[in-house]
Amino acid sequence: MSREIKLMLNGNQIFVAIEDNWTLLYLLREKLGLTGVKEGCGQGECGACTVIVDGLAVNSCIYFAVEVDGKDVLTIEGLAAADGTLHPLQKSFVENGGIQCGFCTPGMILSAKALLDENPQATEADIKQALAGNLCRCTGYVQIVESVEAVVDKSSEDINVVVRETGESG
């Protein structure tokens, strides 16, 4: 069945007509053109499709589009500030070698963001735990974990910079 849903997407309220059988990944990538959301396995095993829904990192490939009705969705495209300033995590991944082929990067960064929003003082173990559902074949995770740690080390003030304040609008 088709229906219209309303959601906050990367800080903008949108109305979009969907079919019940669409996954959130399909809506974002194929219908809304947000190709920063990657499909790595389609079964919730690799985390490449990670987006943040109401503050929580979820696998958009096993999440129905209809279920984000009234919710706040953040994809990698909405993470940098409106003026293009990179989010501290994006900057840190760039500067600390957290990115090689880049296919896991959007999901990896968003999982890290969900963690740091919840726990700005996350330890190495917390970080590894939070990224355990995001597979990477290039880096051996070492520089990815270091990239997240580098943000933790700073004051937690500049971490919560983007989106989310209008999460209850729906």
Partner 1 sequence: MQTVLYVTDDQERKGNKEIMEEFTVIGKRISKVDAVDKATGRALYIQDFKLPGMLYGKILYSKYPHARIIRVNTEKAKALPGVITVLTGEDIPPVRLGVYKDNPPLKAGKVRSYRDEVAAVAATDLETAREAINLIEVTYEAVPAIFDPEEALKPEAPLVHENHKTNLLKMPWNLHYGDVEAAKIEAAFNVEERFSTTWVTHCCMGTSGAIADFDHADNLTVYTNTQIPSLAQKDFQETLKVLGFKDKRVRVIKPCIGGGFGSKLDTYAYEHVAILLAWRSRRPVKIVFEREEEFCATSPRQPTVTYISMGCDKEGKLLYRDMSMVLDNGAYTSWGATTPSVMMMPITSLYRVPNVRYNAKCVYTNNTYSQAMRGYGNPQATFAIESAMDMLAEAAGIDRVEFRRINSNQPGDVTPQGLKITTCGLPECIEAVSRDLEFGRPREKGVGVGLASLIHVGGGARIYKSDGCGTIIKMDDYGKVDVFTGASDMGQGADTIIAQIVAEELGVKVEDVHVFHQDTDICPWDVGAHASRTTFVAGNSALGAARKIRHRLLNMASETTGIDEDKLTLKNRAFFADGKQVLPIGKLLRGSHFKPRGEMMMADNFYDPPNENMGRDFSGNMSATYSFGTHGVRVKVDEATGKVEILDYIAAHDVGRAINPMLLDGQVHGGVLMGVGYALTEQVILENGRNMNPDFRDYKILTAMDAIHSKAVVIETVDEQGPFGAKGIGEPGCVPTAPAIANAIYDAIGVRIKDLPITPEKVLAAIKKKNGAVSCGIDAFTQKEQPCE
Partner 2 sequence: MRLPPFAYERPRDLYEALELLNTFGKDCRVLAGGTDLLVRMKQGLATPSRLISLKDLPELATINESDGFLNIGTAVKLADILAYEPIQYRWPGLLEAVKSVGAPSIQHFSGTIGGNLCQDNRCQFYNQSKFFRQARQTCNKAGGNTCFAWKGGSDKCHSICQSDSAPILIAMDARITIKSKNESRTIPLEELYSSVGERPLTLADDEMLTEIHVPGPVPGAGCAFEKLTYRSSIDYAVVSAGAYVQTDGSKTVNARLIIGAVARGPLAIAAVEKTLKDRTAGDEEAIDQAGREAMNAAEAFIANNITQPVEYRTQMVSVITKRALSRATKRALSHTDVSEAK
Q: Is 23 in the site for partner 1 (CB under 8 A)?
A: no
CA distance 69 to 158: 29
Signed CA dihedral, 34, 80, 106, 56: sign only = negative
Q: Is 54 left (phi over 0), alpha (psi -120 to 50) or beta?
A: left
Task: Count residues binding partner 1 (CB under 8 A).
Answer: 53
Q: Is 90 in the site for partner 2 (CB under 8 A)?
A: no
Member of 109, 115, 150, 151 binding partner 1 (CB under 8 A): 109
Closest CB 128 distance from partner 2, rounded Å = 8
21 vs 166, which CB is nearer to partner 1?
Answer: 21
- Rounded to 10 deg, the angle between the 88-95 and 105-118 helix axes is 130
- The option from partner 1, partner 2, none interacting with 80 (CB < 5 to 8 A, set by class) reads partner 1
7 vs 111, which CB is nearer to partner 1?
Answer: 111
CA distance 82 to 30: 23
Task: Count residues binding partner 2 (CB under 8 A).
Answer: 31
Reduce the secondary structure of 68-113 to three states and give it as a string: HCCCEEECHHHCCCCCCCCCHHHHHHHHCCCCCCCCCHHHHHHHHH
Closest CB 79 distance from partner 2, rounded Å = 17
Member of 109, 115, 150, 151 binding partner 2 (CB under 8 A): 115
Member of 133, 143, 149, 159 binding partner 2 (CB under 8 A): 133
